[in-house]
Amino acid sequence: MALRIGRVDRILDALGDSTRRRIIRLLSAGPMSVSDLSRPLGITVTAVTQHLRILQSCALLKSHKKGRVRMCSLDTSGFETLEHWIREHRTSWERRLDRLGSLLEED
């Protein structure tokens, strides 16, 4: 459980940055090269690469070389980890709110 929490923390930290969220949105349309990502973001290829490393380290994206070009695409495993964490917490809070609702109905 602690390992998963650490992974969730890294994912949430990565998504806390607006540039990285924009990268995720851009890649949701399909794979893109690093230089293609840098244009709409208005930042250097070096800066994009730093953001990509962070996103890749928490399994939100993957990249591979195609000739001399580095291509990036979304990696679903990080999103699945986050989805599982949200589902667990939502269930817990729903149970708590149901109990609170029952207590309030009793009064």
Domains present along the chain, CATH in parentheses: 2-106 (1.10.10.10)
- Can you spell out the DSSP letters for 57-95? HTTSEEEEEETTEEEEEE-HHHHHHHHHHHHHHHHHHHH
Long-range Cβ contacts of 28-32 (<8 Å, 24+ apart): 28/74, 30/73, 31/71, 31/72, 31/73, 32/71, 32/72, 32/73
Q: What is the pLDDT of residues 65-82, one digit of tens each?
A: 989 999 999 999 999 999
Q: What is the pLDDT of residues 21-62, one digit of tens each?
A: 999 999 999 999 999 999 999 999 999 999 999 999 999 999
